[in-house]
Structure 1
Amino acid sequence: MFWLLLLLTIFWTGILVDFLIGLKKIPSMDNVEADEMDEFVSVIIPAKDEQESIRQTIMSLLNQRKVNLEVIAVNDRSEDQTGAIMKDLAEVYPNVKMMNIEHLPSGWLGKNHALSCGVSAAAGTHLLFTDADIKFESQALAKALTYMKEKELDHLTAAPDLRGNSFLLRGLISFFLFGFNYLKRPWTANLKNNKGGMGVGAFQLLTQDCYQSIGGHEAIKMRPDDDLALGMRIKRKGYRQNLVTALNSLSVEWYPNTKAALRGFEKNAFAGLNYSIPLALTALAGVFVSHLFPFLFLFSPVGAVQIISGLNVVLLFYLYALSTKRLTTYPLRLVFALPIFALLFVYMLARALVLTWIRGGIEWRGSRYTLKELKQHFRNNEED
């Protein structure tokens, strides 16, 4: 056990070096001095059953300063009042367009299809893909455009303040971000090469030329992780991309409760593991061993094991704190509940994988997508 814990110490030390270098490469756009922008932006919002939030999101966009924009609100087969709210706003505000989707074509995920339809009606030189529950500070878009112009970017994606209304949800969010950082290394978006890349669904701003050149959402039409897939495709094609934080400029409620978080995890868990069962099992074992073993062996009767376990625990807490401080607005006392959040994460991942396997696919917002077609489109996208 000592040697396993020693290997973990080496691993976490390497991750610490990567974090210390990488997280510094992710700037904040909150302090950007916004210029008056001439670019015309088409903001595309897909929405299915989002009556609780869609009005606030559209109004926060209409209140944007120093920027010219149109809002293309796409009602994707909603069964609540989402469509009616969009229609009312479109009748009052001339720069709000509404689209209705009544049927989902075969071979498409609903959100990807809605975004693609929205682009077909877009007149802007720039496109902003966002969600139906995002709240925008009044100069958020102008700041993003100013930053994008200064850095001569083709694509800018921004991480918002992910609000959680309970200690458990905030812990899950911060733990997810911690794991995402060392698995996906999001700062690769800001490196001058074609590797890595990043996309955050809350805010993806890119030029129309870039979008069309990479094949649009047609190229990733069956990817549940459409935001990440789009960002990685943009980077792979050689376009200039940056990831920034926008904790004071953008905010969103991650999920209203833990049950909703479990449902949301079902959609993306297997996609994030490339639909590979061996990789999924490795991930489950890896999280359990790397995040929980050090805590368990703090109580070992062997002094050397206790010491090396303690060193691992210190490294874990420090890494978790670095990630939480940089990417959230949460109090750092959350880090001391890391083993609880790790256990919950293992449960959520195992549950999502078992349900995906039993169902033979994923069920999301009233539609079902088979594992076979998801895998096929994933392979096609990776080969392209």
Structure 2
Amino acid sequence: MLILMIILAIFWMVALFDAYIGLSRIPRLETISSKPSNEKISLIMAAKNEQDTIEKSITSLIRQTYPNLELIIVNDRSTDDTGLIANLYATYENVKVHHVETLPDHWLGKNHALYQGYTLATGDYLIFTDADIEYQPDMIEKTFSLLLQEKASYVTVAPDLKAKGILLKGFIAYFLFGFGFFKRPWTANNDTSNKGGMGVGAFQLLSKQVYELVGTHKAMANRPDDDLYLGQQVKQNGHKQRLVTGLEHLKVEWYPTLRNAIKGLEKNTFAGLHYSWLLAIFAITGTLISQVLPFIVFFISDGLTKWLSLLVVVLIYALHSLTTEKLTTYSLPIVLLFPFEALVFTFTITRAVLLTYYRGGITWRGTFYPLSSLKKQKPK
């Protein structure tokens, strides 16, 4: 156990140092100065059964200060009033509404909707977004200014994930903690390497030319993690990209409750592990050993092992605090929930993997996608 605690202490020291350097290289959108531009941008919003949020989202887009914005709303087979609400804006200048009635084989609904929006776009730049996002008026003006200033081809923005209740906030903060050291999102801002990359589904701005060069959404038609994959493809094909936080400019409610979050992660948790049992087992046991066991060891051991386990716990809390402060608007005491949230997330991974295999696929927004079809598009 002593040797294990030594290994974990070294691991978390490296992870903390890596995150400290990496997170410092992610700028805040609020610090970006706007510069005049009149390039045409086509914003493509995919919407399915979003009657409770789409009107507020559209309104926030219509109020954008950017002067040459085309809004394309794609209603993806909604069974509620989403399509009717979207139609109310069809007469607005520079607003197009498209209704998808059927989903072709080998496509996920959202990916197909975004691709359909692209076929209608007339701008040289595209923005992919969801129908539950609320924008500040200068959001697009600032992000496009950043793209031009940095001479980049792609900008993605991490939003403020609004949440109700301490348990849900703790779960989101924990998810961002794990996502941070596992995916290292700050690699998007490293111009010396084509490895890594990042994509946040709430907001992805890129040139139409680059989008076409990486294969459009046809190249990721059946991927639940299309946003991350798009960002990674842009990066790996040598195009400059930028990740910024937009906690004051972009807001979304990720999930309304902790139960919804656990259920919602069914669709992409296993996808993030490339549908591999081996990776799933590694993720589950790795989480328990590296993030839960040190807390237990501290209470049941003594001597040097006890103090080393305490060091590991301190390092974990330091890293968790760092990511929570950078990527959320939550108060830092939320990190005290870490051991509980680690167990909840372990349960979430296990549940998602077992249900995906038991059901033979995933259900996302009312559509079932068989695992045999999802597996066809693994990362190369």
Give TM-score scaled by structure 2 length: 0.98
Q: 1-side partners of 2:169 and 2:302: how far apart? A: 35
Give the C-alpha shift of residue 89 in structure 1.
Answer: 1.4
Paired letter, 2:247:
L
Paired letter, 2:242:
N
Q: 2-side partners of 1:123 and 1:204: how far apart? A: 17
Q: 1-side partners of 2:159 and 2:37: how far apart? A: 22
**Structure 2: 5+ residue runs without aligned partners?**
none
1:367/1:66 Cα in 2 relative to 1: closer, same or farther (>3 Å)?
Answer: closer
1:308/1:376 Cα in 2 relative to 1: closer, same or farther (>3 Å)?
Answer: same
Q: 2-side partners of 1:316 and 1:184: how far apart? A: 17
Which residue in the other structure is 1:205 paired with? 205
Which residue in the other structure is 2:88 paired with? 88
Which residue in the other structure is 1:138 paired with? 137
SS for the counterpart of 1:90 is: coil
Which residue in the other structure is 2:57 paired with? 57
| Kept after mapping to 2: 8 A contact 1:67/1:141 | no
Q: 1-side partners of 2:37 and 2:128: how far apart? A: 18
SS for the counterpart of 1:252 is: strand
Which residue in the other structure is 1:116 paired with? 115
Q: Tell whether 2:191 aligns with 1:182.
A: no
Q: 1-side partners of 2:148 and 2:299: how far apart? A: 55
| Kept after mapping to 2: 8 A contact 1:36/1:67 | no
Paired letter, 1:76:
D
Question: How do 1:291-302 and structure 2 match up within 5 A?
Answer: 291-302=291-302
Which residue in the other structure is 1:33 paired with? 33
Identity of aligned residues (%): 47
Report the more deviating stretch, 81-90 or 27-36: 27-36
Q: Deviations over 1:265-292 (max 9, x none)?
A: 0011001111110100110000111111
Give the C-alpha shift of residue 301 in structure 1.
Answer: 4.1
Q: 2-side partners of 1:66 and 1:117: how far apart? A: 24
Q: 2-side partners of 1:20 and 1:95: how far apart? A: 43
Q: 1-side partners of 2:275 and 2:180: how far apart? A: 20
Paired letter, 2:46:
P
Q: 2-side partners of 1:179 and 1:296: how far apart? A: 20
Q: 2-side partners of 1:317 and 1:46: how far apart? A: 37
Q: Tell whether 2:162 aligns with 1:168.
A: no
Q: 1-side partners of 2:197 and 2:233: how far apart? A: 8
Give TM-score scaled by structure 1 length: 0.97
Give the C-alpha shift of residue 67 in structure 1.
Answer: 3.0
SS for the counterpart of 2:168 is: helix
Give the C-alpha shift of residue 217 in structure 1.
Answer: 0.1
Q: Deviations over 1:79-98 (max 9, x none)?
A: 0000000001113x122110
| Kept after mapping to 2: 8 A contact 1:157/1:203 | yes
Give the C-alpha shift of residue 36 in structure 1.
Answer: 2.2
Give the C-alpha shift of residue 300 in structure 1.
Answer: 2.2
Q: 2-side partners of 1:289 and 1:99: how far apart? A: 49
Q: 2-side partners of 1:337 and 1:79: how far apart? A: 38
Q: 2-side partners of 1:151 and 1:301: how far apart? A: 52
Give the C-alpha shift of residue 263 in structure 1.
Answer: 2.1
Which residue in the other structure is 1:215 paired with? 215
Q: Deviations over 1:38-57 (max 9, x none)?
A: 11111100000000000111
Give the C-alpha shift of residue 29 in structure 1.
Answer: 1.3
1:301/1:233 Cα in 2 relative to 1: closer, same or farther (>3 Å)?
Answer: closer
Paired letter, 1:141:
I
Q: 1-side partners of 2:162 and 2:188: how far apart? A: 24
Report the more deviating stretch, 35-44 or 129-138: 35-44
Q: 1-side partners of 2:367 and 2:240: how far apart? A: 35
Paired letter, 1:283:
A
Which residue in the other structure is 2:126 paired with? 127
Q: Name the count of aligned residue pairs.
A: 379
Q: 2-side partners of 1:169 and 1:112: how far apart? A: 27
Q: Deviations over 1:159-196 (max 9, x none)?
A: 00011111111111110000001100001111112111
| Kept after mapping to 2: 8 A contact 1:200/1:227 | yes
Which residue in the other structure is 1:2 paired with? 2
SS for the counterpart of 2:368 is: strand
Which residue in the other structure is 1:251 paired with? 251
SS for the counterpart of 1:111 is: helix
Q: 1-side partners of 2:15 and 2:364: how far apart? A: 34
Q: Provide runs of 4+ in structure 1 moved above 3 Å.
A: none
Which residue in the other structure is 2:324 paired with? 324
Give the superposed CA RMSD: 0.9
Give the C-alpha shift of residue 128 in structure 1.
Answer: 0.4
Report the more deviating stretch, 28-37 or 102-111: 28-37
Q: 2-side partners of 1:121 and 1:215: how far apart? A: 17
Q: Tell whether 2:327 aligns with 1:337.
A: no
| Kept after mapping to 2: 8 A contact 1:297/1:306 | yes
Give the C-alpha shift of residue 9 in structure 1.
Answer: 0.5
Q: 2-side partners of 1:290 and 1:139: how far apart? A: 42
| Kept after mapping to 2: 8 A contact 1:46/1:131 | yes
Which residue in the other structure is 1:98 paired with? 97
SS for the counterpart of 1:84 is: helix
Paired letter, 1:172:
F
**Structure 1: 5+ residue runs without aligned partners?**
none
| Kept after mapping to 2: 8 A contact 1:35/1:66 | no
Q: 2-side partners of 1:365 and 1:248: how far apart? A: 28
Which residue in the other structure is 2:310 paired with? 310
Which residue in the other structure is 2:17 paired with? 17
Which residue in the other structure is 1:364 paired with? 364
